[in-house]
A and B are shown apart, each in its own frame.
Chain A
Amino acid sequence: MTGAIPSIALVGNPNAGKSSLFNALTGARQKIANYPGVTVERKAGHASFADGRPLSLIDLPGTYSLTPASLDEAVTRDVVLGKQDGEKRPDALIVVLDAANLDNHLSFALELLALNLPTVVALNMVDLAARDGLTLDAERLSKELGVPVVPTVAVRKRGMAELLAAVDGAIRSHGADEIAAPAEANDASLHQRARTIARAAILSETPVRRWTQRVDNVVLHPVAGMIILLALMFVMFQAVYAAAEAPADFLEGGIGIVQQWVVATFPDNFLRGLVVEGLLAGVGAVVVFLPQILILFLFILLLEASGYMTRAAFLMDGLMGKVGLSGRGFIPLLSSFACAVPGIMATRAIPDEKDRLTTILIAPLMTCSARLPVYALIIAAFIPDTNVGGTPVGLQGLVLFGLYLSGIVGALVVAYVLRRTVAKGAGAGFMMEMPRYQMPRLRDIAIGLWQRAWIFLRRAGTIIAMTTVILWLLLTFPQAPEGESQVEYSVAGRIASGLEVVVAPIGFNHDIALALIPAMAAREVAVSAMATANAIDAGDDEEAMAQSLGERLQGKWSLATALAFLAWFVFAPQCISTIAITRRETNGWKWPMFMVGYLFLLAYAAAGITYWTAVAFGLG
């Protein structure tokens, strides 16, 4: 032992409750999910022993053995062997075991014990094991393994002090020269030993609880389960509309009041214009969508935390297998409905390289939350707020559902083509552990939602605010002479007129051409850009300012143009962050360039076909 702060690594199988234990020990705030592979990034935190000496903790990705099958599992091996660049070998290990899954998790524990680092075993989730009728003998287990075993319930912070005391003891009583290299153990004999030890430690056992099995009989049924999955997703998208309406109206009203107050209070000058037309109109138009984004994330977080997500992956595997992907890809793709950036990062858990590449390339086709402001604005303005026939199904929600569906179908077709051309390879495998059902914990969900809200508002305050201000400047200069439209006359207006030549065939007007360029930074900027341009157009006209952006667009666009604009955004790769993360995850510019190219082509074609079809039906 050196005088430095001891560093302790948490290691264990996926679903052993490592992240919860890490949170309980450090009080750190991050996401806890129920499916294997979420702990991809390095998570570190601090805690202290009972006498106040500090220690540092790192939470390693869950894995089944020291032989990695994917990138995140390789990190775990490299850290515990001291081979990870920039990471010193941990001074001690806390091996986390799921008490209800002992015979399986013990194999990895035995492999880790062979390293001869100071080690303590956390026998986690003993309460759930007890619920399942399993009584364990921790002392017996400790004797068999030769290291301290501490029963813990991480989510209730039970056993934390005992765990740290045991770690302290293990470090003190351990000679530095004893640390061994990994033993070349035959994995079959390892599993055999694990099972023998588990049998010895289990005092009594009743069969696995039946109710979860009954639930799974329905939820995993190829027909009933699929109907449930589709119904869940449908309810999710309907809720995004129905439940968000009141808070969104409230926000919109609030921003309008602030705008009018600024106009009434300050003299008409450059700064007032920037604040009212640039910042308030532009950023405000995006912030209004916060309630909808939070509702979407609420659903995704609940599905993850309850253990349903892996079930959905199971149901989707058949379909995804047909296009050369695997159910593994479902989790990154569903995350991409919130944002493609964490979605693409989550693909690291996919073992097959070509499978992973294809999943990355189609992730931007999942309708991310940045598209919601665009969709919401256009749908609210152009699709009547009525129900379909006599049903309680809203037409607006249905159109939104259709847009999501178009992205999914598009992604499946693209994946099918890619797997037969540029990402050719053998059929991907799909092997995954199914977590138990768990009641989502209110605190975790609340923390998750808060993090999303914060990221969204920070984006609105930085990238979106900045592009909006730049756009406002480009729209304001040079000043148009009397009688000419300022928006047309400005620098931005002239650039847009150039672009309009290219996009006019697919029904795009000057408004859209103007919005497309700044929207390269982030999709929702399209909304703030149009809001800013319209605010400048309205000038000090009180009546025009009182109109919402949607009402103003209604007067200017045809339905065919609006629909073409929606179709464009199903495919267009307008997001700098996604392009950047793709470059990082594929190690080069080749694949992000490919992605941007194919997506723009698809976007142009989709918008064109939509426009021409709508015009043919007399909607132009």
Chain B
Amino acid sequence: MTALLENLLDRAPLGVMVRIARIDWTAMSEDEGRRLREFGLMEGCEVTPLHRGSIFSRDPLALTVGRMKVIIRARQAAAITVEPAA
């Protein structure tokens, strides 16, 4: 279980590219899920978490998807399981 937790996007180390293995769509509202897909965050795509906005919390998280940089909240990132990029 611990090993699994470490593979969530909100815990992923900054600056290291990872591949999205699975997204738990049930953990977020339909609108949030759609916006994630509109940003290009889907199973199989590669992302690089880059910045956290606060030292006190894990919120928010800025990451690159392709050539785009987007901001999401840790709550959504926690629903995304990642694996090392090839």
Contacts and interface: CB of A to CB of B under 8 A. Distances in A.
Q: Do A and B bind?
A: yes
Interface of A: 64-65, 67, 69, 100-101, 103-104, 107-108, 132, 134, 187-188, 191, 195, 208, 213, 216-217, 220-223, 310, 313-319, 321, 327, 351, 427, 429-434
Contacts of B35: 64, 69, 431
Contacts of A208: 64, 67
Interface stretch (B3-11, B55-63, B78-86): B55-63
Contacts of B21: none
Contacts of A222: 52-55
Closest 7 CB pairs of A and B: A318-B54, A64-B38, A434-B69, A220-B51, A222-B55, A317-B60, A432-B71
A271 to B, nearest CB: 60
B57 A321 contact: yes
Contact of B68 (A216, A430, A433): A433
Interface string B22-66: 000000010110111111101000000011111111011010111
Nearest to A316: B53
B16 to A, nearest CB: 14
Given A314-B71, A427-B75, 20 more contacts: A64-B38, A64-B39, A67-B34, A69-B31, A103-B40, A104-B38, A104-B39, A132-B67, A134-B67, A187-B34, A187-B38, A216-B69, A220-B50, A222-B55, A313-B71, A351-B31, A431-B36, A431-B70, A432-B70, A434-B69
A430 B71 contact: yes
B42 A430 contact: no
A510 to B, nearest CB: 49
A434 B62 contact: yes
Given A223-B55, A317-B60, A434 B70 contact: yes
Nearest to B60: A317
A327 B76 CA distance: 15
A327 B60 contact: yes
Nearest to A436: B69
Contacts of B32: 429, 431
11 contacts: A69-B35, A104-B38, A187-B38, A217-B51, A314-B62, A429-B73, A429-B75, A429-B76, A431-B76, A432-B70, A433-B71
Contacts, number: 116
A104 B69 CA distance: 11
A134 B32 CA distance: 31
A424 B37 CA distance: 28
B53 A191 contact: no
B59 A433 contact: no
A16 B80 CA distance: 27
- Say whether chain B's binding surface is mostly helix, strand, loop, or mixed: mixed
Contacts of B65: 104
Contacts of A104: 38-40, 65-68
A313 B51 CA distance: 13
Interface residues of B, number: 34
Contacts of B29: 429
Contacts of B31: 69, 351
B76 A187 contact: no
B72 A431 contact: yes
B25 to A, nearest CB: 10
A503 to B, nearest CB: 41
B38 A327 contact: no
Contact of A314 (B42, B51, B57): B51
Contacts of B68: 101, 104, 433-434
A318 B73 contact: no
Nearest to B73: A430
Most chain B CB atoms below 10 A, which of A213, A216, A223, A429 = A429
Most chain B CB atoms below 10 A, which of A134, A313, A314, A316 = A314
Contacts of B70: 431-434
Contacts of B36: 431
Given A64-B38, A101-B66, A327 B71 contact: yes
A100 B69 CA distance: 12
Nearest to A222: B55
Given A223-B55, A317-B59, A216 B67 contact: no
A120 B39 CA distance: 23
A134 B56 CA distance: 38
B60 to A, nearest CB: 5
A101 B67 contact: yes
Contacts of A108: 38
A544 to B, nearest CB: 55
A208 to B, nearest CB: 6
B76 to A, nearest CB: 7
A427 B50 CA distance: 23
Contacts of B37: 187-188, 191
Nearest to A198: B66
Nearest to A427: B75
Contacts of A310: 71
A431 B73 contact: yes
Contacts of A314: 51, 53, 60, 62, 71
Most chain A CB atoms below 10 A, which of B52, B64, B69, B76 = B69
A29 B3 CA distance: 56
A65 B72 contact: no
B76 A433 contact: no
Contacts of B69: 216, 433-434
Contacts of A427: 75
A417 to B, nearest CB: 21
Given A220-B51, A431-B73, A191 B42 contact: yes
Most chain B CB atoms below 10 A, which of A67, A310, A318, A327 = A318
Contacts of B40: 103-104, 107, 191, 195
